[in-house]
């Protein structure tokens, strides 16, 4: 009798662990079936986002693809201004709004946004400020691309339900 109870407890525990298993957000199919429209704006931010998304997203052969269009908004703001009006830090805010449509239909089925900001220290050397600004912008753009990929994977996962 004790042996039977132990087996039942072990089986119950095994089924419980199986139902609580971790399911990753990404799988092989999570970023397939998307096509990124090439933006008409050829500024640096648009080009970086387009190239990264285009290389990560794979269309499928049927006409069941989703079309992605996006717009980029960049804002720069001086922060931490001293009394002598010297700016010590600069903040960069980049927002990307994107929409998803079906390939055979112009109706938007999902609208998303990714907004990330970061600041860098300003120094007396102009070249150092330029490099700091470029590094900060590149870091923000990479974070935005990762966020958009996560949103697309969640969108695709929810489409299957």
Residue-wise pLDDT for 110-158, tens only, equals: 999 999 999 998 888 889 999 999 999 999 999 999 999 999 988 888 8
Better pLDDT: 36 or 158: 36
Distances (CA, A) of 121 to 80, 88, 130, 135: 10, 6, 11, 12
Question: If you search the block for the tokens 């990264």, which residue do you land on?
Answer: 52
Q: What is the mean pLDDT of residues 50-76?
A: 88
133: part of which helix (H) or strand (E)?
Answer: helix 126-159
Which residue from 61, 82, 60, 50 is spatially nearest to 148, judged by alpha carbons? 50
Structural domains of the chain, ranges and CATH numbers in brackets: 2-159 (3.30.160.150)
Which residue from 49, 110, 129, 118 is spatially nearest to 77, judged by alpha carbons? 118
* Whether the Cβ atoms of residue 137 and residue 87 lie closer than 8 Å to each other: no
């Amino acid at each position: 009798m004790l042996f039977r109870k132990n087996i039942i407890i072990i089986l119950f525990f095994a089924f419980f662990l199986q139902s609580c298993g971790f399911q990753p957000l990404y799988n092989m199919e999570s970023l397939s079936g998307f096509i990124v429209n090439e933006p008409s704006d050829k500024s640096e931010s648009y080009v970086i986002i387009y190239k990264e998304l285009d290389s990560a997203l794979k269309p499928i052969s049927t006409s069941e693809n989703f079309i992605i269009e996006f717009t980029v908004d960049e804002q720069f703001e001086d922060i931490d201004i001293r009394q002598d009006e010297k700016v010590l830090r600069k903040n960069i805010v980049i927002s990307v709004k994107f929409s998803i449509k079906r390939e055979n239909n112009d109706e938007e089925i999902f609208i998303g946004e990714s907004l990330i900001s970061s600041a860098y220290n300003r120094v007396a050397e102009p070249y150092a400020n330029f490099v700091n600004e470029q590094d900060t912008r590149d870091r923000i753009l990479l974070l935005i691309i990762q966020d958009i990929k996560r949103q697309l994977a969640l969108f695709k996962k929810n489409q299957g339900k």
